[in-house]
Each structure stands twice: as C-alpha cells, then as structure tokens.
C-alpha cells in the first residue's frame, strides 16, 4: 500500500510540486493545487492542506512556496499541525525526529528536485524519537 501524502503549492512552488509528484512511485499524492504558475495567494493552499491534517492524525503533507516561510507560518496556525521548513535533508530528518513534524515545507525558488527528493525521502522514513522531545512538544500551545 502506498503512503498517502497531501501536497499543495502556490505559483512559485508549482513546478517543483509537479516534479515531486512525478518522481515518486512509493507515495500516493493528493494534489490540492495550485494547478498553474498563475499568481495565487499561498495562505489559501496552506489553509486547505492544514485543515485536512488538523482533522486527521494519520496523514502528512508537503507545502511549497517561493521561500517556504509563508506556507510554514500559515500552516502552523492549526492546532494539530507541526510544519517545518527544510532547506536540506539534515533539517528534514531532525524536524521529524525532534519535533514530530507532520508537514514538510520546501522553498520552491531555492531548491532543485534532487535536494527536494532527499528531503522527502528522509522526512518520510524518519520517526519521532519521543523521550525528552515529548515534554517540549507539550509546551507548544
């Protein structure tokens, strides 16, 4: 069975999102848009993805915008969402292991498909370590 992953981008992340979707056979992506490089507002897509994850504890997502910052800010407004911005695979691994992140945010204008694939592979193959990190997560409200 393939892992289902929600994925969304704004116009600045559209090309990278399409490359990601076509690069993985092990994942089943649910593409929440956008569907072109025509200018759109990133919060619309971050809110759509984050609201779905907020309602379900067993699903993860990927968000992509130009810098990744806007998507991360918008997604983290939701109680059950822990979105982290990764510029490399080391950060993607730590956000899963230490922060139990469930949304990987990528900077579409600053990352090529090769680094994006590394981030995605490590993010979805890493697990939350728990332990000392549990008490820290509980302090986030």
Of 11, 98, 114, 133, the active-site residue reads 98
* d(C-alpha 118, C-alpha 13), whole Å: 17
* d(C-alpha 80, C-alpha 105), whole Å: 16
Mean pLDDT value across residues 36-55: 97
Mean pLDDT value across residues 79-83: 96
Domain 3-138 of CATH type 3.30.465.10: no
pLDDT of residue 1: 47
* d(C-alpha 109, C-alpha 77), whole Å: 23
Would you call 19 exposed, middle or buried from its count of C-beta atoms within 10 A (0-12, 13-18, 19+)?
Answer: middle
- Catalytic residue flag (residue 98): yes
Of 65, 114, 119, 133, the active-site residue reads 65
pLDDT of residue 57: 78
Domain extents in the chain: 3-138
Task: Output the average pLDDT for the chain.
Answer: 95
Mean pLDDT value across residues 58-82: 97
Three-state SS for 29? Answer: strand
Q: Calculate the alpha carbon distances from 57 to 9, 77, 79, 83, 102 in Å.
A: 21, 16, 11, 14, 9
The model's confidence at residue 3, banded by pLDDT at 50, 70 and 90, is confident
Mean pLDDT value across residues 16-37: 96
pLDDT of residue 54: 95
- Catalytic residue flag (residue 133): no
Query: Does position 128 have pLDDT exceeding 90, yes or no?
Result: yes
């Amino acid at each position: 069975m393939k892992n289902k992953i929600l994925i969304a981008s704004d116009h600045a992340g559209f090309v990278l999102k399409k490359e990601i979707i076509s690069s993985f056979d092990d994942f089943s992506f649910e593409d929440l848009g956008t569907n072109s490089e025509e200018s759109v507002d990133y919060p619309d897509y971050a809110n759509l993805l984050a609201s779905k994850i907020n309602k379900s504890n067993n699903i993860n997502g990927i968000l992509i915008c130009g810098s990744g910052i806007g998507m991360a800010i918008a997604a983290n407004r939701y109680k059950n969402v822990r979105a982290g911005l990764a510029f490399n695979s080391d950060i993607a691994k730590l956000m899963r292991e230490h922060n139990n992140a469930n949304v990987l945010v990528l900077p579409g204008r600053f990352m090529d498909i090769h680094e994006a694939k590394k981030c995605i592979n490590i993010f979805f193959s890493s697990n939350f370590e728990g332990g000392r990190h549990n008490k820290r997560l509980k302090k986030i409200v």
